[in-house]
Each structure stands twice: as C-alpha cells, then as structure tokens.
C-alpha cells in the first residue's frame, strides 16, 4: 500500500478548493493500491484557505524550529502544519506504508522544489515540511512528476 497527496488523486483539498487530478494516480486509488491523504486538512486547515509558504527556510528548518509557515498576511500556521504532518506520519505507520507519491511545490507535500517564501510564484530547491519528515523516517518519496518510472511496481 502506498499513500498519495490527496489533491493529485482528485480530492479538491487545495487552498483554492481545486484538485490537481492525475488520472494515473486516481487509477492506483481505484485499484486499492493507494490511499489519498492531505496533511494540511489533517492539521485542521480548511478549504478554501489562504495559501501559505515557508518563510526563511525549508521543511527541514521548520522541523528544527528554525523557520515558520505563514500566509500572505503574516499569519503563522506552523503549528497546524506540524500537527497535520504528525497525523500523516501516525497514519502511514499504522498502515506500514514505505512509499508515497507527493505533490511538488507545496510547502507541506513539496519534494525537491518548493515556493520560496515571497508569494511571487517563485521556486527554490528544498522540501516541504511533510516531505522533510518522511525523508527523516526513510520513506521512499516520488512525486507526480516521476512516479511513472516505477508505476509497474505498485
């Protein structure tokens, strides 16, 4: 069993109430090979909600208490994000999940690249808070951009 970011499985849980459906990921869910989870919703964030970015760092820094996650208006949502990450980790532990497919760019799910904290739609290298936490646990991470490389293994 693998877990996938819920929005790429078609769940309308993004900040603006939309999804980023990827038909091949939805197929994995339909075949009961994957479970969709949204860490931000697990942390109590609502839909729709203000978009957030990691300020002055990346997911690793947030886990280490050196950076925070804020919305455009400066509201700090770090605790909600960390709570959602904690719930996500508990769930995959219960399900004995060793592999995930995450949505790129997100301050939570993003793996490899994330928005840079300026709210100008600019990216930088780094991982979101969930991706950083999963990496620390040794979970294998793919994204919607490269999971087809291993699709046959699911």
Interface ranges with ligand SF4 (CB under 6 A): 5-7, 13-14, 38-40, 103, 106, 108-109
80 three-class SS: helix
Q: How far is the CB of 131 from ligand SF4 (least distance, A)?
A: 10
Nearer of residues 63 and 152 to ligand SF4, judged by Cβ:
63
Nearer of residues 7 and 55 to ligand SF4, judged by Cβ:
7
Largest distance between two CA atoms of the chain: 44
Give residue 54's Cα distance to chain centre. Answer: 13
List of E strands, the chain:
2-5, 34-37, 52-55, 68-71, 99-102, 113-115, 123-125, 140-143
Nearer of residues 55 and 115 to ligand SF4, judged by Cβ:
115
Nearer of residues 39 and 117 to ligand SF4, judged by Cβ:
39
Instruction: Report yes or no: 114 and 124 within 8 Å, Cβ to Cβ.
Output: yes
Nearer of residues 16 and 152 to ligand SF4, judged by Cβ:
16
Answer positive or negative: Cα dihedral of 55, 58, 59, 63: negative
Q: What are phi and psi of 99, to 5 degrees?
A: -145, 140
Q: How far is the CB of 102 from ligand SF4 (least distance, A)?
A: 7
The token pair at 112 is 């490899």
Q: How far is the CB of 85 from ligand SF4 (least distance, A)?
A: 10
Q: How far is the CB of 38 from ligand SF4 (least distance, A)?
A: 3
């Amino acid at each position: 069993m693998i877990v996938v970011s819920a929005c790429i499985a078609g769940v309308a849980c993004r900040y603006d109430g939309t999804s980023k459906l990827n038909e091949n990921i939805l197929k994995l869910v339909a075949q009961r090979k994957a479970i969709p989870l949204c860490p931000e919703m697990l942390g109590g964030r609502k839909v729709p909600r203000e978009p957030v970015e990691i300020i002055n760092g990346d997911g690793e820094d947030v886990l280490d208490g050196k950076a925070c996650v804020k919305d455009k208006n400066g509201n700090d949502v770090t605790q909600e994000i960390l709570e959602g990450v904690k719930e996500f980790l508990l769930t995959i532990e219960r399900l004995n999940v060793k592999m995930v497919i995450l949505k790129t760019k997100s301050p939570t799910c993003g793996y490899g690249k994330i928005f840079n904290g300026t709210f100008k739609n600019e990216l930088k290298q780094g991982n979101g808070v969930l991706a950083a936490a999963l990496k620390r646990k040794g979970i294998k991470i793919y994204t919607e951009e490269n999971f087809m490389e291993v699709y046959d293994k699911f």
